[in-house]
Amino acid sequence: MSVRVKLCGVRRVADALLCAEAGADELGVIFAPSSKRKITHTEGSAIRDALPAHIPLVGVFKDATLDELVSAQRSSRLSALQLHGVRPPSIARDLRAALGPSVKLIAAVHVRDADSLSAVAALSDFDRVLLDGPQGGGSGTSFDWTLVTRAREHFRGELFLAGGLTSRNVAQAIRTARPDGVDVASGIEGADGFKDPTEARAFVTAARSVNSEGA
């Protein structure tokens, strides 16, 4: 299996570059006003400018309006939009009409138990579902990884696993959940809240080790 690695919550150009050098397949930047990792459109644009062109930049939002999403995508040239919180039923169709098919759309679902997976069935207009811990993005809380395989009964697109992942547990998480990708923010941060190069490299290496097993 080949699992993609998304390193999220990048706030500085320096952190974006170290995550790229660590081998990330995707980087995430957060525009949600309530997040301690939030950045501005100007900062997002600077990060995009600094990154190699082949690395997608994913914008993370919570309760954002269509206008806010379109504005952020255009200013930071985002490859994908990851939506948390309130999502109007037509938001995916409206975004495709405004931005075209090349921008990937991701819906986040907070998983508490098997009943939480019922929300996944209504997300067929999205390209990817991110299954996150019960307390939401960046909280570092996990859930039962076996539920990821059960979510495939409800969704045909990509399934990414997030919530409480670190370099010490990501390999086992991948073996158990068999996701299309893994997503980490707090698990690769140092005491200062910025990305730690050693942790970022260790996380990517651990995830790649399962790929090499042919699991």
pLDDT digits (tens, 9 = 90+) for 39-61: 999 999 999 999 999 999 999 99
Q: What is the model's pLDDT at position 186?
A: 93
Per DSSP bridges, beta strands 57-62 and 158-162 are unpaired
What is the per-residue pLDDT across 85-99, written as a single tens digit (0 to 9) for each? Answer: 999 999 999 999 999
Distance CA 136, CA 154 (A): 21
Taking each helix axis as running N to C, give the angle between helix 197-213 and helix 170-177, from 0 to 180 degrees, rounded to the nearest 10.
Answer: 40
What's the pLDDT score for residue 139?
Answer: 57
pLDDT value of position 188: 97
Annotated catalytic residue: which of 25, 132, 180, 183? 132
Helix, strand, or coil here: 96? helix
- 8, 19, 25, 180: the active-site residue: 8
Model pLDDT, residue 107: 97
CA distances, 150 to each of 66, 116, 155 (Å): 31, 11, 10
Taking the model in full, what pTM does it have?
A: 0.94
The Cβ of residue 58 has, within 10 Å, a number of other Cβ atoms equal to 22
Please identify every stretch of the chain with a pLDDT value under 50, giving residue numbers as ranges: 215
Establish whether 19 is a catalytic residue. no
Within 8 A by CB and 6+ apart from 53, the residues are none
Looking at residue 214, its pLDDT comes to 54
Which amino acid type is present at position 103?
Answer: V
| Residue-range domains of the chain with CATH | 4-207 (3.20.20.70)
**pLDDT the model gives residue 124:** 94
Q: What is the DSSP letter of 125?
A: T
Q: How far is CA 212 from CA 77, 206, 207, in A?
A: 33, 10, 9
Q: Do residues 177 and 145 lie in contact, with contact meaning Cβ atoms separated by under 8 Å?
A: yes
- Closest by Cα among 106, 109, 148 to 127: 106
Q: What pLDDT is stored for residue 215 in this prediction? A: 44
- The distance of Cα 186 from the centroid of its chain, to the nearest Å, equals 12
